[in-house]
Amino acid sequence: MPSIKDYKIATLGSHSALQILKGAKDEGFDTICICMKGRSKPYESYGVADNIIEIENFDEFFGLQEELIKQNAIMIPHGSFVTYIGPQSMKKLKVMHYGTKGILEFESDRDKERLWLLDAGCKMPRIFDKPEDIDVPVIVKFHGAQGGKGYFVAKSTKDFYEGIKDYPGNKKYVLQEYIVGVPMYTHFFYSPITEELEVMSFDKRYESNADSIGRISAQDQLDADIRTSYTITGNIPLVIRESILPQVFEMGENVVKASQKLVGKGLYGPFCLEAIIDPNLNFYVFEISARIVAGTNPFINGSPYTWLKYNEPMSTGRRIARDIKMAIEQDRLDDVLG
Ligand code: ATP
């Protein structure tokens, strides 16, 4: 019988690597952590990596592949890995990879992503083709603005042209309806082995300075001339109002179904819908991440939802390893590799 002892689980030392590696070890796999030089301390200290390989830069990763292939390593992608390698180069990876690589192209292209989510029936914020069309407050999102830094809100066409003066050189942007509500990031998992969609957990982000502006009065905000930024610094766990849960399951299932029309085996493994819920409980999805998100990091020991389902600690990282383990033991590894 095929055994998990014949395989290793590998990932890049950043983002959600701690829970991916810990989860893999909990499921019985040996682990490999590929780290930028000088950044291996957490992986040593928490004892999650059986083997740490240090590299000077991410281009070196491609040279490592032969070694990883020799060791039968299965690479788990996460946000930093996809960013550093790039969605196009991802397709050229030769090492075994958990998840459909092609789907990453749809999450990294705002237009393709939008068509996918609309096809899945998600409600999304309106998009304005040109500043002259602005008739509700909009959030101006620049392309490549990492971590929401430098976005600004404009309530009219005039306001937009005033605001954009502060961003010379930033020509590419999206004008998206600004939804007044609360952020809610839902972490899903779809297993091609069990063919079941699971709701793993929820979080919101802890953003600087958006999450601190309310600590001073509106007058002080004006006096200090503070501009809102959304630089992510951490994640805060949440539970959702229970009556919204049926809608959440339905959304996740529809997104998976719609993805199967787009590319190969479609979307499977972990993914996240980033949304704002307005006071009428409308769920406005503004983005999808088609891989594990760092918002699952508070749940290394499991979330209230995974506790309901598993009765044992089950992080998203561990769930990935379990999917791979089930696939190996059922001789279906191809079903989880992309
Ligand atoms: P990524 O998730 O790819 O890193 P990002 O961090 O650059 O993207 P977003 O996640 O798109 O940026 O948004 C940053 C912040 O702006 C988030 O806190 C989110 O809640 C808020 N936001 C985004 N879109 C909207 C919207 N349409 N209405 C209200 N708030 C929004």
**Of the residues 170, 187, 211, 274, which should be mutated to test ligand 1's pocket, given the most ligand atoms within 8 Å of the CB?**
274
Q: How far apart are CA 148 and CA 185, in angstroms?
A: 15
Write the residue with the smallest CA distance to atom 1 of ligand 1: 147
Expressed in angstroms and rounded, the spacing between residue 272 Cα and the centre of ligand 1 is: 13
pLDDT in tens, 44-82: 999 999 999 999 988 899 899 999 999 999 999 999 988
**pLDDT-based confidence at residue 148 (cuts at 50, 70, 90):** low
Quote the Cα angle for 229-39-325, to 5°.
95
pLDDT of the residue at 127: 96
Angle between helices 17-26 and 316-329 (to 10 degrees): 40
The pTM of this model reads 0.95
Tokens read off for 64:
């490592």
Write the residue with the smallest CA distance to atom 25 of ligand 1: 178
Expressed in angstroms and rounded, the spacing between residue 148 Cα and the centre of ligand 1 is: 6
Domains identified in the chain and CATH numbers: 4-121+181-209+234-336 (3.30.470.20), 127-179+210-232 (3.30.1490.20)
* Chain mean pLDDT for the chain: 94
Expressed in angstroms and rounded, the spacing between residue 312 Cα and the centre of ligand 1 is: 33
> Which residue carries 């479609």 as its tokens?
266
DSSP 257-321: HHHTTTSTT-S-EEEEEEEEE-TT--EEEEEEESSB-GGGGGGTT--HHHHHHHSS---HHHHHH
Tokens read off for 186:
């839902």
pLDDT in tens, 232-272: 999 999 999 999 999 999 999 999 999 999 998 999 999 99
Among 51-60, 103-112, 146-155, 177-186, the range of highest mean pLDDT: 177-186
Q: Give the residues surrounding ligand 1 with Cβ less than 6 Å away.
A: 125, 139, 141, 145, 147-148, 176-179, 183, 205, 207, 230, 274, 276, 286-287
Write the residue with the smallest CA distance to atom 10 of ligand 1: 148
Write the residue with the smallest CA distance to atom 27 of ligand 1: 178
